Amino acid sequence: LGRQGLQQHDVTERGRVAIVMAASRGLGRACAEALAKEGVCVLICARGAGDLKAAASELESLGSKASAVQADVSRSEDIKAVFRQCDEAFGGLDVLVCNAGGPPTGDFMSLDEDSWRVAYELTLMSAVRAIRLAIPRMQRRGQGRIILIGSSSVRMPLPNLALSNVFRPALVGLVKMLARDLGKDQITVNMVSPGRIATDRVRQLDEARAVRDQTSYSVVRSDSEQQIPMGRYGLPAELASVVAFLASAKASYVTGQTILVDGGLVASLP
Ligand code: NAD
């Protein structure tokens, strides 16, 4: 190991600082919880004040420091406010988990230009803006971890999710490029991509499909589970544990990767 690598292994998780975007519910919240359990100080954001407050006090009850900011991650000013709050609350940044609500659904011809603009801001630019703010802070720390929550659409286009199919692969390009650019700073950049993890978003997608196919939610869910080699949807904590590993000192030499957490759903190589 080089000198910096050795220094990194000396870092314990306790007292490190993470921002988890869009974390009042679902995968973001599970990631915040997994990090808090490791002793990482966590700043979360989301749009709704109520859910956010509940999530922050839950995080504190796990024994870590937590802070919360109301923010719409598709807005540049709101992302800046998140980083300002992190500076004030914790005085630095070690880990950024880029997450956002899912983009509008629809196939290619059904989506109007406004939907494309929404997805551009929400899915692509939220990560671009947050990472631009995170990099100088991590460079000051002499290391960092950037983890993007993606989708299995980066390996296999999904039906009725044209915007995910287009914007998420762009983020894979960003991950690969930044891994090369930031390696010298001991900053790792990776993506964790869910297949079907049981959250409100996946339930809404299944309910919408039940309406389209004129069937019931339980039929859609059971059909969907049958396509997954492990025969079930994942739990948010099962994705979050991979994020917590990539955020940890143990993952100091893993960068530029897209890791699927999908119970074997995507059959493509690699
Ligand atoms: P979710 O809808 O259950 O939770 C989304 C969270 O993001 C909530 O806390 C919500 O308040 C917050 N949020 C939404 N829009 C926001 C905004 N503009 N600004 C700030 N916060 C916002 O969704 P999820 O299942 O946890 O998914 C998280 C991401 O992962 C989404 O982009 C989704 O498309 C993607 N994804 C999820 C799955 C899955 O299996 N759950 C699969 C593929 C991709």
Single-letter amino acid, residue 205: L
* Residue 74 beta carbon below 6 angstroms from any ligand 1 atom: yes
Protein residue whose Cα sits closest to atom 4 of ligand 1: 26
Does residue 5 carry a pLDDT above 80?
A: no
Protein residue whose Cα sits closest to atom 18 of ligand 1: 72
Query: Ligand 1 atom closest to Cα of 196?
Result: 40
Q: What is the dihedral of CA 190, 184, 78, 44, to 10 degrees?
A: 50
Q: Which of 27, 53, 122 to mutate to test the pocket of ligand 1 (most atoms within 8 A of CB)?
A: 27
Does residue 253 carry a pLDDT above 50?
A: yes
For 200, phi then psi, to 5°, come to -60, -40
| Band of residue 269 on the pLDDT scale cut at 50, 70, 90 | confident
Q: Which of 45, 75, 199, 230 to mutate to test the pocket of ligand 1 (most atoms within 8 A of CB)?
A: 199
Does residue 12 carry a pLDDT above 70?
A: no
Report whether 187 contacts 132 (CB < 8 A).
Answer: no
Residue carrying the six token digits 């749009």:
47
Count Cβ atoms below 10 Å from residue 91 Cβ, excluding itself.
10
d(CA 229, CA 52): 35
d(CA 68, CA 60): 11
Model pLDDT, residue 265: 98
What's the pTM value of the predicted model, to 2 decimals?
0.95
* pLDDT tens, position by position, 66-88: 999 999 999 999 999 999 999 99
* Residue 234 beta carbon below 6 angstroms from any ligand 1 atom: no
* Residue 263 beta carbon below 6 angstroms from any ligand 1 atom: no
* Residue 75 beta carbon below 6 angstroms from any ligand 1 atom: no
Model pLDDT, residue 13: 80
* pLDDT tens, position by position, 84-106: 999 999 999 999 999 999 999 99
Two tokens, residue 79:
């992302």
* Residue 126 beta carbon below 6 angstroms from any ligand 1 atom: no
Residue 92, Ramachandran bin (φ over 0: left; ψ between -120 and 50: alpha; else beta): left
| Band of residue 270 on the pLDDT scale cut at 50, 70, 90 | confident
* Residue 36 beta carbon below 6 angstroms from any ligand 1 atom: no
Q: Dmax of the chain from CA atoms?
A: 61
Gap from CA of 205 to ligand 1 centroid (Å): 12
Q: How far is CA 43 from CA 19, 71, 82, 108, 205, in A?
A: 5, 12, 8, 36, 28
d(CA 112, CA 108): 9
Gap from CA of 20 to ligand 1 centroid (Å): 12
Residue 165 CA neighbour count, 13 Å, CB half = 12
